[in-house]
Amino acid sequence: MKILVPVKRVVDYNVKIRVKADQTGVDIANVKMSMNPFDEIAVEEAVRLKEKGVATEIVAVSAGTTASAETLRTALAMGADRGILIETDVELQPLAVAKLLKAIVAKETPGLIIMGKQAIDDDMNATGQMLAALLGWPQGTFASKITLSEGRIAVTREVDGGLETVDLALPAVVTADLRLNEPRYASLPNIMKARKKPIETLTPAALGVDVTPRLTVLKVEEPGKRKAGAKVASVAELVAKLRTEAKVI
């Protein structure tokens, strides 16, 4: 079975982001970029399935600028077999990415798609669901455990009240949650090997997809600064402050 793993290049999770002075977005000039953490989990899960002999090939796909090839190299160093870069300078929104991925699915016919539940830059949490809808495939989102059997996949999902398990027919779309696994670090020999693995470059136009943004960002603002707290000497003082200063009781 072939597994398709979409991976997005995002601002590294350790970076303290800055809003651009003109409030049109986040400043990514000279900022460390990495693979979206949930996509690392998705790659890891696919690699484990290949190690178990369940998957035969892992194809990583990333849509974005030429720099997204770096993200594909990371996926290849973790164990993916080949990469597809869909190159564009247009800022992609989830519907555009879902349409691009649908076109890749038509070309590659994977038996399973494992992707991140959300990209930590825009926090959209939409691409997997949109892709499943466009393909007419079942979806298992927020996966914390997956079990494959003949032509089916059981996906344990993290829901508000606890865990829910859904049983889906393959091919299906699974989106990875934090507890699905702990992704490996790519070893140096594997990073070297990844340099020789193939990356095919395509464009949205070649895939027949219009990626023009449908949403307009009006303004991006930093959250308001939190005020410092104060220590109180007694419960009586706390109650008095809650009554007279905070006016919440």
- 34, 74, 118, 139: which one contacts ligand AMP (CB under 6 A)? 118
> Please, which residue, 118 or 139, has the CB nearer to ligand AMP?
118
Q: If binding is defined by CB under 6 A, does position 183 make contact with ligand AMP?
A: no
> Please, which residue, 54 or 69, has the CB nearer to ligand AMP?
69
Residue 10 CB: number of other CB atoms within 10 A? 22
- 36, 139, 141, 181: which one contacts ligand AMP (CB under 6 A)? 36
Smallest separation, CB 240 to ligand AMP (Å): 46
Stretch that binds ligand AMP, among 76-84, 112-120, 159-167, 232-240 (CB under 6 A): 112-120
Residue ranges in 195-234 that form contacts with ligand AMP under rule CB under 6 A: none
Total binding residues for ligand AMP by CB under 6 A? Answer: 22
Q: If binding is defined by CB under 6 A, does position 116 make contact with ligand AMP?
A: yes
β-pairing verdict for 172-176 and 139-149: parallel
- 3, 11, 35, 38: which one contacts ligand AMP (CB under 6 A)? 38
Smallest separation, CB 135 to ligand AMP (Å): 14
Q: If binding is defined by CB under 6 A, does position 94 make contact with ligand AMP?
A: yes
- 3, 11, 35, 39: which one contacts ligand AMP (CB under 6 A)? 39
Cβ-closest residue to ligand AMP?
116
Q: Are 75 and 5 in contact (CB under 8 A)?
A: yes
Per-residue 3-state assignment (H helix, E strand, C coil) for the chain: CEEEEECCEEECCCCCCCECCCCCCECCCCCCEEECHHHHHHHHHHHHHHHCCCCCEEEEEEEECCCHHHHHHHHHHHCCCEEEEEECCCCCCHHHHHHHHHHHHHHHCCCEEEEECCCCCCCCCCHHHHHHHHHCCCEEEEEEEEEEECCEEEEEEEECCEEEEEEEECCEEEEECHHHCCCCCCCHHHHHHHCCCCEEEECCCCCCCCCCCCCCCCCCCCCCCCCCCCCCCCHHHHHHHHHHCCCCC
Q: Site map for ligand AMP, 62-91, x if CB under 6 A?
A: xxx---------------------------
Nearest-10 Cα torsion for 174, 180, 181, 183:
50
Smallest separation, CB 36 to ligand AMP (Å): 5
Smallest separation, CB 94 to ligand AMP (Å): 4
- 97, 168, 173, 174: which one contacts ligand AMP (CB under 6 A)? 97
Distance CA 48, CA 83 (A): 18
| Residues of this chain that bind ligand AMP (CB under 6 A) | 6-8, 36, 38-39, 62-64, 92, 94, 97, 115-116, 118-119, 122, 124-128
